[in-house]
Amino acid sequence: MKQTRPPIVSMLGHVDHGKTSLLDKIRKTNVAGKEAGGITQGIGASQLTTSEGKKITFIDTPGHEAFSQMRVRGAKIADIAILVVAADDGPMPQTKEAIKYIKEAGSSMIVAITKTDLPSADVDKAITALMEEEVLLEGFGGDTPYVKVSSKTGEGIDDLLEMIDLVSQVNEITADPEGELDAVVIETNKDNRGPLVSLVVRNGTLKQGEELICGAIGAKARGLIGENAKQIKEARPADPVLILGFSSLPEVGSHVTHGHALASSNEVSSPRVPKVAAGQLPIVLKAQKTGSLEALKGVLPKDVVVVRADIGDVTDGDIFFAKAAEARVIAFECKVPSSVGRLAETESVRIETFNIIYKLKERLEELLNAGRDEELGKAEVLAVFPFNNQQVAGCKVLSGKITKGDRAKVFRGEREIGIVKVTSVRRGKEVIAEAKAGEECGVLFTPQLDFEVGDMILSVK
């Protein structure tokens, strides 16, 4: 039978607008100070009981630009989304993105205007800016409730909790503890206990020892861990819980239900090494959490090719794979065991570790720029013919110029097939110093390559 269940609430907003600090104040814990670089880099769920004895489950979704997928999940999982807007800043890029996600998900919205204690706070300006984003607040021509809060002084915290309770009552949020299990995966990880899956129960009850199914992945819930790392026997609607017993890691955002016929095969096929074109940077990407791995993939520069991606600490397998792919290992919030570090040195594989996502991104951009040659000219091979026991490439210059003495890279499709030196440029029988964009010419190179029509010649500095 359906009954009222605690609301699931997500915090969404721009980086540094105080989401984690607000949640920290509400929970009376200390989470924000532990986040690398002051930016929340995981997605966590916690449940609290108010002074009136009512439970609320909070999901904290990061605001950094890289974590848009995690904010999408936070909006979809939640019954109520708290849009956090700093009074001294107003709506910023991730605020606007969050507004879009909340509306698409159909979650009820409460606006929390934070940092009201700052001298630079301008609540009226923030409200006006929100109206420009089509978020119309109560008392300003709309029906979206808002609360002014300060994580530093505690102002408005009780008002915010009361507003969450009021919206929850109006929405009549219910679940059937005896009904079909529906839980949503919000984070995955690995440690010496095996795959760890964090989820929030939306309906039904999850009990220790039960068989579960998530897509094609099966599990037996051999262990349930609740808040404060305590073992629990069951998780009821709106409870966050960590499960031990999955055979492999499910996708974050996927749904878990009871399953009596587990997937027959959980084999993971061997990864294939993608082809890497000249100018691209191959990497083996490691992260401690699936959510972080997703976020990293979304922020990588376009010429970075992920040849392998996995969660957990760096392993010998990562080193051997990187060696075969001529890649370097990029590890985010991961440990590198000393034995793996020694193997990497032996195999001449570079490992770079990071705790801050934007520093990782900057480093990859730096590596790409360092490996790029300045392009002087580009030509396409239109014909190939012999000349004095040599092969002449009849070319049309597409951009820049091709000059005698240039160093040139030859591409067939996206694959670099050789590096040559321009030894002669001719127009008919005339020897010329260079050919410019739009001109056709015959070019001799050393060393000799077996050119084909359609090959591209890139003259570089």
Domains of the chain: 3-175 (3.40.50.300), 182-258 (2.40.30.10), 281-371 (3.40.50.10050), 375-460 (2.40.30.10)
pLDDT at 265: 34
Q: Is 222 exposed, middle or buried (0-12, 13-18, 19+ CB in 10 A)?
A: middle
β-pair type (415-427, 430-432): antiparallel
Q: Is 427 left (phi over 0), alpha (psi -120 to 50) or beta?
A: beta
β-pair type (55-60, 8-13): parallel
**pTM across the whole model:** 0.56
Residues 236/201, Cβ–Cβ less than 8 Å = yes
Q: How many residues does the chain have?
A: 461
pLDDT at 45: 79
Residues of the chain whose pLDDT is less than 70? 17, 29-44, 60-76, 216, 260-275, 278, 370-373
pLDDT at 234: 95
Angle at which helix 19-27 crosses helix 157-171, to 10 degrees, equals 90
**Of residues 382, 426, 377, 421, the one with CA closest to residue 398:** 377
β-pair type (108-114, 146-148): parallel
pLDDT at 165: 93
pLDDT tens sequence across 161-207: 999 999 999 999 999 999 888 898 888 888 878 888 888 999 999 99
Residue 373 DSSP label: P
β-pair type (8-13, 80-86): parallel
| Sequence-ordered list of residues with C-beta below 8 angstroms from that of 55, at least 6 positions apart, any chain | 6, 47, 48, 49, 238
